[in-house]
Structure 1
Amino acid sequence: MTLAQQILWGSVYLGICFLIELVLLTWCTQTIRGMALKLEESKRFVTIAAPICIALVFIVAIHTFQVWLWAIVWVLGETLPDWNTALYFSLVTFTTLGYGDIVLGEDLRIFGAFASVTGLLAFGLSTAFMVALMTQVFKEELMS
């Protein structure tokens, strides 16, 4: 893959992952809002813990989905030999851990780096979402 192709396709997959995260975090927000109305009369512990638990389940699912998406790219592109290797490499790259025991060829290094950038952005967005959620939850609990 040429440098321009790596940048193009890396940007495409990064964009797809970012779009998936935005859609699912929006769905998560709507789910939490709907649930909050049902839990108004619940105990304080439940009204605090439930939104946080729901958000964490969504976030883990979102990140897992993105890791799988990158693994699919590695397997279908015949870059990595099997699903185990592809998932391992995808997860290690997405989390920016990067052990280095599996290394892409020179023609895919930039493209592979986009998987890492995707993870950085995903974790950053998820962290910001959790901070905003917890700020709102605690603000509402302090006012009640």
Structure 2
Amino acid sequence: MTLTQQILWGSIYLGICFLIEIILLTWCTQVVRVASLRLENSKRFVSIAAPICIALFFIVAIHTFQVWLWAVVWVFGDVLPDWNSALYFSLVTFTTLGYGDIVLGEPLRIFGAFASVTGLLAFGLSTAFMVALMTQVFKEELMS
């Protein structure tokens, strides 16, 4: 891939991952809102723990889906030989850990870096989402 192609395709996959994350976090917000209303008269522990558990479930699912999406790119693009290597590389890259035992060739280095950028931004967005959720949950609990 040329540099321009790496930037273009990396940006496309980054955009797809964020579109998925935004859609699923929006769905999560709706699910948390409905659950909170249903648990309004429940014990305090349950009314606090339920939204947190729901949000964490969604966030783990979102990140797992994104890791799999990048693994699909590595396997179907004939970059890595098998699913084990592709998932491992995808996860290590997405979390920005980068062990370095699997390295992409020069024609894909920039494209591969987009997987790291995707993970870095996804974790930031998920953290901001959890902080906002926790702030709202505790605000509601303090007011009740």
TM range (shorter): over 0.9
Name the Cα RMSD after superposition: 0.3
How many Å apart are 1:111 and its aligned residue?
A: 0.0
Instruction: Write the letter of the residue equivalent to 1:13.
Output: Y
Give the length in aligned residue pairs. 144
Deviation string 1:12-60 (CA, Å, 9 cap, x unpaired) is: 0000000000000000000001111110110000000000000000000
Whole-angstrom distance in 2 between the partners of 1:59 and 1:26: 11
Given the alignment of the two structures, is residue 103 of structure 1 paired with residue 68 of structure 2, yes or no? no
- 2:117 aligned partner: 117
Instruction: Write the letter of the residue equivalent to 1:141.
Output: E
- 1:131 aligned partner: 131
- 1:48 aligned partner: 48
Unaligned stretches of 5+ residues in structure 2: none
Given the alignment of the two structures, is residue 20 of structure 1 paired with residue 36 of structure 2, yes or no? no
Deviation string 1:78-112 (CA, Å, 9 cap, x unpaired) is: 00000000000000000000000000000000000
Runs of 4+, deviation exceeding 6 Å: none
Whole-angstrom distance in 1 between the partners of 2:72 and 2:32: 31
Whole-angstrom distance in 2 between the partners of 1:132 and 1:92: 27
Whole-angstrom distance in 2 between the partners of 1:11 and 1:142: 43
Whole-angstrom distance in 2 between the partners of 1:49 and 1:84: 35
